[in-house]
Amino acid sequence: MAPKGRFKQSFAVPRDDLWDALTACLPTVTTRAAFYEATHRVEWTIDTTGFMWAQTMSASADEGPDNTSVLAMTGRTRYWPSMLAPGARARTHRTLAAAINAYLANPPARKPAPRTGGDYFRTWNGQEWSVEPPPA
The mean of the pLDDT values for the chain is 82
Classify residue 30 by its DSSP letter: -
Q: Which residues contact 5 (CB under 8 A, 6 or more apart)?
A: 74, 75, 76, 86, 89
Mean pLDDT of 67-77: 88
Would the pTM of this model clear 0.95, i.e. be above it?
Answer: no
Cite the beta strand spans of the chain per DSSP E: 6-11, 32-36, 41-46, 55-63, 69-77, 119-124, 129-130
Q: Are 80 and 52 in contact (CB under 8 A)?
A: no
Among candidate residues 98, 97, 95, 75, the one with its CA nearest the CA of residue 86: 75
pLDDT at 109: 80
Class of domain 6-106: alpha beta
Report the pLDDT value the prediction gives residue 75, as an integer from 0 to 100: 82
pLDDT in tens, 19-62: 999 999 999 999 899 999 889 999 998 865 655 667 788 999 99
Q: Give me the residues paired with residue 6 across strands.
A: 74
pLDDT of residue 70: 95
Helix, coil or strand: residue 45: strand
Q: Which of 104, 74, 98 is nearest to 88 (CA)?
A: 74
Query: Are 19 and 26 in contact, with CB atoms under 8 Å apart?
Result: no
pLDDT category at 116 given cuts 50, 70, 90 is low
Q: Quick: pLDDT tens for 12-21.
A: 999 999 999 9
What is the rounded distance in angstroms from the CA atom of residue 19 to the CA atom of residue 12? 13
Residue 6 DSSP label: E
Q: Given this model, what pLDDT does residue 27 score?
A: 93
